[in-house]
Amino acid sequence: MDKVTVIVPAYNLQDYLGDCLKSIVNQTYLNLEIIVIDDGSTDNTAQFRLQFAHQDSRIKVITQKHQGVASARNNGLQNATGEFITFVDGDDFIESAYIANLVAQLREYHSEIASSFYKIRDVATNQFFILTSLSPEDTRFNGVYSTAEWLQKIGPSLNAVNDCVWGKLYRRRLFEQLRFPENYSYYEDTMVLWQACLGADRISFANQIDYNLTINRPELVQTRFQEMVKAYEKVHCLQEQISTMDLIDINYHYLDKNLRVALIDLRDKAQRVSDYDYYQRATGALTVLDALSKEQESNGN
């Protein structure tokens, strides 16, 4: 049985980390290496990580000064020894067969990335919901894809699957040279997932909903300035994706639409906080995008 390394970044998660670690140690797939990286927590997070580490020898605890989730995940990667790697955020939790299902999928399709869907837990309303139009019985996207097929077909159809590193299982070789950009605050995992997909020959998907994502934690309310920075990082991330797809000659027009929406969002949020620099960047990029669209339409006629 191949070892799976589970990387769990945690920062001030005293109300969530216990449920997260309980869901991991209770997996039906037993050969796990669970690396918990405490990113300089100032609450009682240490109490939960130490309690579980004393109870389960598969848990390895790493502490570091507060440097952000990208640094924490990189620390986990640096210490990972498993043949497969998966990421679980410290405020999320997984169903008992989550890892077993992903391992089975990866083996069945001989893929390098195995992926699935997820449920959302809204802390504000204490409700769960699924962010997809796919019904649990819908298997039309199940299967294995080349990188080009994944980015062209699955990307536009199941965009939420392509946004985050969690909800997936990776062969370790994909992260031999790949690390999370520590200058990003919000979209560091999207950038890394994109690079991992480009490095994979086969990517598989199964419509299983075994991961539970937590949103709307009250302590994570963002300021208007933080919202603007997040909007800027999304724009930059999309621009990097488009540049990469252009280099490898993959159709990316659906990303152009996403970029336009992101630029409008950045422009509006920059205007709200009176940040002239970001406002000018967004309006300038929109002008260029409009000119390119008109040129493409003209060439097509």
Q: 84 pLDDT exceeds 90?
A: yes
248 and 183, same domain (yes or no): no
Provide the domain limits for residue 198: 4-220
Give the pLDDT score at 118. Answer: 87
Q: 160 pLDDT exceeds 60?
A: no
Q: 10 pLDDT exceeds 90?
A: yes
For position 117, which CATH number holds?
Answer: 3.90.550.10
Average pLDDT of every residue of the chain = 88
C-alpha pair distances (Å), 133 with each of 117, 150, 164: 11, 18, 19
- Give the pLDDT band of residue 112 (cuts 50, 70, 90): very high
Which pair of tokens denotes residue 222? 């963002």
Q: 130 pLDDT exceeds 90?
A: no
Residues of the chain with pLDDT > 90: what percent?
A: 51
94 vs 44, residue with greater confidence: 94
161 and 149, same domain (yes or no): yes
Which of 189, 220, 251 delimits the end of a domain?
220
Predicted TM-score (pTM) of the model is 0.88
- Residue 114: burial class (beta carbons within 10 Å; 0-12, 13-18, 19+): buried
Q: 157 pLDDT exceeds 80?
A: no
- The CA-based angle 165-241-253, given to 5 degrees, is 120
- Give the pLDDT band of residue 102 (cuts 50, 70, 90): very high
126 vs 111, residue with greater confidence: 111
3-state SS of the chain is CCCEEEEEEECCCCCCHHHHHHHHHCCCCCCEEEEEEEECCCCCHHHHHHHHHHHCCCEEEEEECCCCHHHHHHHHHHHCCCCEEEECCCCCEECCCHHHHHHHHHHHHCCCEEEEEEEEEECCCCEEEECCCCCCCCCCCCEEECHHHHHHHHHHHCHHHHCCCCCEEEEHHHHCCCCCCCCCCCCHHHHHHHHHHHHCCCEEEEEEEEEEEEECCHHHCCCHHHHHHHHHHHHHHHHHHHHHHHHCCCCCHHHHHHHHHHHHHHHHHHHHCCCHHHHHHHHHHHHHHHHHHHHHHHHHC
Which pair of tokens denotes residue 215? 């949103």
The string of pLDDT tens digits covering residues 241-256 is 888 777 777 766 677 8
Instruction: Answer whether residue 300 is part of any domain.
Output: no
Give the pLDDT score at 224. Answer: 87
CB neighbours of 135 closer than 8 A, spacing ≥ 6?
A: none
Mean pLDDT of 53-60: 94
Q: 14 pLDDT exceeds 70?
A: yes
265 and 192, same domain (yes or no): no
52 and 173, same domain (yes or no): yes
C-alpha pair distances (Å), 203 with each of 161, 176, 196, 295: 12, 18, 10, 35
Mean pLDDT of 62-89: 97
Q: Which of 152-156, 223-227, 262-266 has the lowest mean pLDDT?
A: 152-156
Give the pLDDT score at 156. Answer: 63
Distance, CA of 145 to CA of 153 (rounded, Å):
9
Q: 237 pLDDT exceeds 70?
A: yes
Give the pLDDT score at 296. Answer: 66
Distance, CA of 105 to CA of 122 (rounded, Å):
28
Give the pLDDT score at 125. Answer: 85
Q: What are phi and psi of 211, to 5 degrees?
A: -105, 140
Closest CA to 86 of 18, 153, 23, 15: 23
Distance, CA of 251 to CA of 55 (rounded, Å):
50
Instruction: Give me Rg for the CA atoms of the chain.
Output: 20
Number of domains in the chain: 2
The string of pLDDT tens digits covering residues 291-300 is 877 766 666 6
204 vs 242, residue with greater confidence: 204
178 and 279, same domain (yes or no): no
Distance, CA of 205 to CA of 168 (rounded, Å):
9
Give the pLDDT score at 179. Answer: 96
Instruction: Answer whether residue 301 is part of any domain.
Output: no
262 and 207, same domain (yes or no): no
Give the pLDDT score at 132. Answer: 64
Give the pLDDT score at 185. Answer: 84
Instruction: Answer whether residue 244 is part of any domain.
Output: yes
HSE-up of 86 (CA within 13 Å, CB side)?
Answer: 28
Q: 236 pLDDT exceeds 80?
A: yes
Distance, CA of 179 to CA of 174 (rounded, Å):
10
237 and 204, same domain (yes or no): no
